[in-house]
Chains A and B, each alone.
Chain A
Amino acid sequence: MFYFSVPLGKLVRKVSRLRGGGSALPGLVVEKIDPGFMQRTLSTLPHGVAVVSGTNGKTTTTKMVVELLESQGLKVFTNRTGSNFTRGVAAALLGDVDWRGRLDADIAILELDEAHAVHFVNRVPPRYCLLLNVLRDQLDRFGEIDKTADLLALIAAKTTDTVVLNREDPRVARIAEQLTGQDVAWFGLDDSLLSTFPNDDDLRTAPGGAVPAGLPSTPDADVVLRGVGADSATFEYDGATVTTQMKLRGVYNIFNAAAALTLARRICVAGAAKANQDTLLTALSQVEPAFGRGESLTVEGQPLDLVLVKNPSGFRLGLKSFPAGGYATMVAINDNYADGRDMSWLWDVEFDSLRDGGVDQLTGARAYDMALRLQYDDVRIGAVDPEIAPALASFIRSAQGKPKRIFCTYTAMLAIRRELSKITTVEVVS
């Protein structure tokens, strides 16, 4: 059957890309004239759809699952960063289908924002879902943290086959108790690493004081992260322990590698491909960070790391994973919708680890909120300039010959990347 919506949507996509426009418009057009497009197209995939959701790490985890499955010979459709809502999926599909609307893929791995994922799964029940965590992110958007957990539970409820859950996040783990009939697969952490993953309930209290009770007993995980080295990680699965090199850095990225491995292995076992452990591990070791997630650029011969910080847990993990020693540090805080508009979250992060070296440059719409925060943690502050372009230029100038690191919120990162693309090679995000 021929749907004229497809060539029309593809045309809109082409035109809007020529104009340098946003990625969602063509999705909007095709959704309007052909509401069944997304569901119809995705339902043709032989191994169905897997949804990745949660507060932190969706983009990197999705990227890992895709690369793991591709290493097993599967053709994977995925949505790119910045389009993690339904319309964005439709737009991404338009780019990949042929003019008759056929999608040449075995499976779709989709990163979906918690709230939009609920709309999505109501229309396209996924075969698999992977739920990473529930952290304090943009509470002004969803109201509160328990509501976010409810959204994830809805995604799990609509999943037909296998739900992959984080054993160490009590709000995610308890989703298992509400499921009826789906298989549950777990990924987990070694006890020795638990302390490096403070959950939001441990924020200001003594250990053991966390509010939500976890599961009554600790379930066996498919994949457990046993250890993290400077550029390696140790995983345990199928009763054996394996250590592999990793290009990803940051302990939370590597925990998400356990998540990705769990989902990819489940998909293979379900018949999509014959899981070859060697090629899976090789693929895992070669995954590069997604943009802004601890990626390293080169500026004037020195590394410049971008670390995206979106919420207190992410910021604390970022500080822990990327120690300040030897680095010049800049922090860029915006308060646009995509950043989270309430600045309260900065007060839930401890900045003691920056005390030795101080922070050389602060920028962003809320640069002075950050300065105030650092003052209360006795951290030395260099220059403050809310304007990102001049602040970045002055940071690069003043820290000449030193490796640099920038902790930034989402829209601040986009602005910084735009500036950096003028002086170095930066991946273009479509």
Chain B
Amino acid sequence: MTDQSAVRESTSKGTLRVLQLYPRDMNIYGDWGNALVMQRRISWHGYTPELLEYNVGDPFPADVDIIVGGGGQDSGQLVIQADLLERAQELKTLADGGTPMLVICGLYQLFGHRFVTRTGSEIKGIGVLDVETHGTDERLIGNVVVATDEFGDVLGYENHSGQTTLGSGVAPLGTTTKGMGNNSTDGHEGVRYRNVVASYLHGSLLPKNPAVADFLIKTAATRKFGSYSPGSLDDRYVAKARELAARRPR
């Protein structure tokens, strides 16, 4: 493994810049796992990762190749909300233009049009994704398996009381074969739009779903360098971890 991780600058296939959205306020439920997997796999594939952070009030970095953003509890969402709205146009332009992104749980909701709380008040989203979310009294908690066309089974853990419905402008990430996903009625989980993957799944998502991680890397490399040449990675443990995780009870 160590032989994969040490990629010297001279042999690097190029630098990929990964931006973490709001790691200071939205860092709950292992969101760091997604950033770490980006960093390591970029390096194992022979590229040089550069990990950037964007927090409330920071200047928004230029030339970002991949964006990852996480969950966060209600208090964290309140802190970032106004700042996120100010960044709406930039993020929308990046997403529409094909920048690969992964947004999980809380940021997935805020990337939609709106979040309507249980008491009926409305939290404005940034409208990158054609979805909206309604707060409920029902908390969807437990292991999830999602069958997807692009990535095979996506495994993770959901924990949310907001229920999300999709508009016609986006497709679901997949269909749940265990657990609930977006809401308790339609059997769909997550969203795919351009190169954005949005999902409720923690776990963290990327470690146990390397197909999603490699999709983000491949897309970023192809956009930046015109081509992509993957490395050969040791995915023994992830294969076993997926096998066992799929057998765990809801």
Within 8 A of A (CB), among B25-76: 25, 27-33, 35-37, 40, 53, 55, 73-76
What's the least CB distance linking A353 to chain B, in Å?
A: 16
Within 8 A of B (CB), among A324-370: 335, 341-348, 365-369
Q: Does A139 contact B (CB under 8 A)?
A: yes
The interface size of chain A toward B, counting residues with CB under 8 Å, comes to: 38
- Chain B contacts of A286 at CB under 8 A? none
> Which chain A residue shows the least CB distance to B75?
A146
- Chain A contacts of B73 at CB under 8 A? 144-146
Q: Does A227 contact B (CB under 8 A)?
A: no
Q: Does B202 contact A (CB under 8 A)?
A: yes
> C-beta contact mask, A296-328 vs B, less than 8 Å → 1, else 0?
000000000000000000000000000000000
- Known contacts A344-B202, A372-B208: A140-B24 contact under CB 8 Å: no
What's the least CB distance linking B142 to chain A, in Å?
A: 7
- CB–CB B141/A140 < 8 A: yes
What's the least CB distance linking B6 to chain A, in Å?
A: 10
> Which chain A residue shows the least CB distance to B161?
A143
- CB–CB B27/A342 < 8 A: no
- CB–CB A335/B27 < 8 A: no
Q: Does A12 contact B (CB under 8 A)?
A: no
> C-beta contact mask, B90-125 vs A, less than 8 Å → 1, else 0?
000000000000000000000000000000000000
> C-beta contact mask, A193-213 vs B, less than 8 Å → 1, else 0?
000000011011100010110
- CB–CB B244/A376 < 8 A: no
Q: Does A378 contact B (CB under 8 A)?
A: yes
Taken together as a complex, chains A and B put the C-alpha atoms of A347 and B29 apart, in Å, by 8
- CB–CB A347/B36 < 8 A: yes
> C-beta contact mask, A372-388 vs B, less than 8 Å → 1, else 0?
11011010010010100
- CB–CB B241/A144 < 8 A: no
- CB–CB B28/A145 < 8 A: yes
- Chain B contacts of A378 at CB under 8 A? 1-2, 5
What's the least CB distance linking A343 to chain B, in Å?
A: 6
Among B23, B32, B76, B240, contact of A371 (Cβ-Cβ < 8 Å): B240
Within 8 A of A (CB), among B195-250: 202-204, 207-208, 234, 237-238, 240-241, 243-245, 248
- CB–CB B75/A373 < 8 A: no
Taken together as a complex, chains A and B put the C-alpha atoms of A369 and B237 apart, in Å, by 8
Q: Does B159 contact A (CB under 8 A)?
A: yes
Taken together as a complex, chains A and B put the C-alpha atoms of A209 and B73 apart, in Å, by 16
Q: Does A293 contact B (CB under 8 A)?
A: no
- Chain B contacts of A376 at CB under 8 A? 33, 36-37, 40, 207
Within 8 A of B (CB), among A136-184: 136, 139-140, 143-146
- CB–CB B32/A211 < 8 A: no
- Known contacts A145-B28, A343-B203, A348-B30: A139-B159 contact under CB 8 Å: yes
Q: Does B163 contact A (CB under 8 A)?
A: no
- Chain B contacts of A201 at CB under 8 A? 27
- Chain A contacts of B157 at CB under 8 A? 140, 341-344
> Which chain A residue shows the least CB distance to B201?
A344
- Chain A contacts of B23 at CB under 8 A? 204-205
- Chain A contacts of B87 at CB under 8 A? none
- Known contacts A144-B74, A344-B29: A369-B36 contact under CB 8 Å: no
What's the least CB distance linking B245 to chain A, in Å?
A: 7
Q: Does B143 contact A (CB under 8 A)?
A: yes
Among A209, A341, A372, contact of B241 (Cβ-Cβ < 8 Å): A372
- Known contacts A376-B36, A386-B244: A346-B30 contact under CB 8 Å: yes
Taken together as a complex, chains A and B put the C-alpha atoms of A424 and B173 apart, in Å, by 52
Q: Does B82 contact A (CB under 8 A)?
A: no
Q: Does B8 contact A (CB under 8 A)?
A: no
- CB–CB B74/A347 < 8 A: no
> Which chain A residue shows the least CB distance to B238?
A372
What's the least CB distance linking B172 to chain A, in Å?
A: 22
- CB–CB B241/A211 < 8 A: no
- Chain A contacts of B170 at CB under 8 A? none
Taken together as a complex, chains A and B put the C-alpha atoms of A347 and B31 apart, in Å, by 8
- 17 contacts across the A-B interface (CB closer than 8 A): A139-B29, A139-B159, A145-B73, A146-B74, A200-B28, A203-B27, A205-B27, A209-B24, A335-B248, A341-B157, A342-B29, A343-B157, A343-B245, A347-B33, A347-B207, A369-B241, A384-B237
- Known A204-B27, A346-B33; 12 more pairs at CB < 8 Å: A143-B139, A143-B161, A204-B23, A211-B76, A212-B75, A342-B203, A343-B245, A368-B240, A371-B237, A373-B207, A376-B207, A386-B244
Which are the 10 A-B pairs with shortest beta-carbon distances? Answer: A347-B33, A344-B30, A347-B30, A368-B241, A144-B73, A368-B240, A342-B157, A371-B237, A344-B202, A205-B24
